[in-house]
Chains A and B, each alone.
Chain A
Amino acid sequence: MRTSNAKVSSNNRTKFNVVDTPVPKVDGYALVKGKTVFTDDFNIPNALTVKILRSPHAHAIIKSVDASKALELEGVICVLTHEDVPRVAYTRAGQGYPEPSPYDTFVLDKKVRYVGDAVAIVAAETEEIANRALKLIKVDYEVLPAVLDYEHAKDDGAPVIHDEPEISGAYDVSHNIASHYEMHIEDVEEELAKSDVVVEGTYYTPNQSHAMMEPHTAISYFDPNGRLTIISSTQVPYHVRRIIRHVFGVESRVIKPRIGGGFGGKQAVHVEAYVTAVTLKTGRPARCVYTREETMTASNTRHAMRFKVRVGASKSGELRVIDMEGLSNTGAYGEHALTTFMVAGSKTLPLYNKVKAVRFKGDIVYTNTEPAGAFRGYGAPQGMFALDCALDELANKLGMDPIEFKLKNSIREGETSPVFKVMGEGREGVEQIIQSCKIEECALEGAKLFDWYEKKKKPRINGTKARGYGVAFAMQGSSIPAIDMGGATIKMNDDGTFNLMVGATDLGTGSDTILAQIAAEVLHTTTDKFIVYSSDTDVTPFDKGAYASSTTYVSGNATKRAAEKMAQEILKAASEIMNEPVDSLHLENGQVVSENGTSLTYSEIQTKLFYTFKQRQLEVTESFVSEVSPPPYMVSFAEVEIDLETGKVEVVEFLNYVDCGTPINPKLARGQVEGATAQGIGMALYEEHVLDKNGRMVTNDFFTYKIPARKDLKNIKVKFAQSYEPTGPFGAKSVSEIGLDTPGPAIANAIFDAIGVRLRKLPIKSEEVFFALNS
């Protein structure tokens, strides 16, 4: 049996028919024509508008809520407070179950823990009435002192943020520690003592807003049979369904339509619980669309982190020790607290596997600020900013080129790192031998393309401008091994098409498209023969959702397995129909071809199976869970220009050289890297939350919170290494997150190269550079 003509080699990208070609997105026509595909585009008759009354205080006890005036308003249907919703502790984090995040959240609580925390749910006939009702609700608060600075969250006498008895899973609530983690390999103090050169530094990465263009949105209703149905802009429909059942004790169907961006921000239950509470209470459909301000201030943010780093090396540039002590701000609730912190180590440390001793430890603390959550990179950009910058400083101190130094100490094919086994996500990890790693090609070919060595010879200062060049290395993972599972179902139709049903959650990444490409490659047909339907918990098989760089790898492998099984089913059916042995048949261009030259199209086969011959529907379901998490690798080169009079930093060129295995769709893969780089540049130079003295976020819209616009970005270039991951579907690894890991360190390293000042806190705003130049 031949199911694929592809020839496999570990170094050269294989020739495929459909994979590794830039087919347009399968959902692209609908999107580019502006069809009604997003949650708020759906007309649900009789739907109530749901609005949330939010706390103006960072930390307060709700003594009483008087909604009588609001309820008198015509068109107000209900106002729900903590007394009206189940008191069930949960985590909003959409993770594998049981979740490593503490159960420290209630749909509504009698205490509020940040400015923006939910106090009451209002449902009204129109948005205007709902907004008026919000203003008529009187809340009596007992205002408590708040913890706004995460570096003081553990201080003696700091206000305790979580004192409710029902919560579980938090590490030490009396000191506001949501989670704690520590590991070490060998003795870091001993290795530091043996090191010829040591660098110590403290590095900060900021909160960052996902700023996806579509705000958080959900609609709930009872279907004609009384089944609760939730349409939600979510990355994790199956986790939403599980959490809604945990909190409300009700079964539901969760449908994910197109999503207007997520980046991890929609890897949590935000709106679904509020609309569900209203539909359960009133029996009516309920719609809630967050405002931009709510999306900015009352959903999730990236965990701000501080790392105190010590690294040491021998004179000849052998890295001896990495010691990272971290502190992470999880805000008011601990969603993704432990796991993002661990990823700051587990997706950075194995890159430098030549090191003799490693220590990684720290606390993840509660504060009275917006809860942090999952955000593309998931801790790795924070950890890599600290580690890569420290190694850059070390290379500088050694008088070595940073590319040479980082390459000398980084991992290669056939090697491993003990960190893989020690650190997983919320628990121990898995051992793995690296089977694909083109970090050398990425670094050396990238340096050539960027003209690194020639550029480094140039003078840095030219009049009032300075130029600098920085490099950063990164790795990520492909899925959470031994935890996250994805399934795929393929059904054959009598017109030669296939329904591909996946729980995998396309949030704009193009996963529907690349899964169709994988299936088409196996089944020797074209992508347009696949009708992809994704993420409807009543229809599609389970999938963990879109996160952890897992869809291409996990859902892709599940789809490949399902397609391979479908190929067998087709060949078996054809063998019976054609009366020829299976071994003499193969798939080719949407048909089964026999050695004797006869053939049957898929359409002919399924038509016979429907109506006239051994009647049956061909349909298969397969699942995949990985034992390993093959890292993609990337080396990025940044050229910055700094205005010495104003401190203005411009990223003149940013080159990414990426090893993601086979890019299933090169254009979509390139788009993932370009987009992640843009977000990384935003994190490096512009994006920051500013709180007033009462804890209110003043950077709550696109004027005050600066995401890069077109003219803020110059030339982002992407090149893919020739690479093939044997465990991936057609050699693929992940590509969606890694692009965010390098801009911070590459730009900070370039700024140092330009002006000789090491800035260790992101974002590096022009003002910071100006003050650094003038201090």
Chain B
Amino acid sequence: MSAVNATTENLNEILSGEDIAPTPQASVAAAPTRRTPYFETESGKRLVENTLTLFKNAIPPLLGMLLFVGLWGLISHSVKNIPGPSETWTSAVALFSDPFYNNGPNDQGIGWNILNSLYRVGMGFGAAALVGIPLGFMVGRFDFLNRMLSPIISILRPVSPLAWLPIGLLVLQKAESASIWVIFISSIWPMVLNTAAGVQRIPQDYLNVARVLNLSEFKVFTKILFPAVLPYVLTGVRLSIGVAWLVIVAAEMLTGGVGIGFWVWDEWNNLNVAHIIIAIFIVGIVGLLLEQGLMLLAKRFSYE
């Protein structure tokens, strides 16, 4: 695409006479001037260079994808019941042509399943942010609190998220709330820890400025603490949303309801392996999008 565009541009340039030293008529009389070959002009060289870098950047990922699809094809040939790439593609096209149908609670379109999962992640993750970020600020600001909570955090953080599910079911009585609870408890730690680390790493210079100016606590928070810690908070948020999305599939497999995790399990019971593979891609792509979106947000708030 871009190569074609660039060529027309350069054609215009050549026609406008920029690359041709004298006009064609004059060149007859003047010393024999050779028209510079296109690939030796500035724009021509640039085109070649751009095309090369484009290829250099695009070739490795393309090659990786190709290798992946190739391996997949090979496996599907030798292992019974595993659908190949083309079969999966046809199935995906059919699936996404009607994403929002609703035939009762156990048979809904893929769109509904994704949205339901995102809703649970949003609730659990939102609650975790509401609790975790202020908690992180306090842990970072007050050493006493830090020393008080760090043993608890150290013990609870490595616990597998699903281990919390029975507690959630027991206390909250409902599958829906229990899976939100699992998201909450598994995604809160990165936010607490990163926010606390950010508060502890505020450069002393900024705090000295606050001291020399005698700023009020409110001003210190809004003008110094909050903006200085924001990039760390966003790192925590990014890690958390990754964890939350990772956990929702497993939680929904156990709790049921409408959601991408339950859908995977349902398709397993139907022995629709193509849909399971599609689900894997969906989970991966949605997770990637969530993380990239937050990366963009984080870039907006980094000042260095």
A and B, one complex?
Answer: no
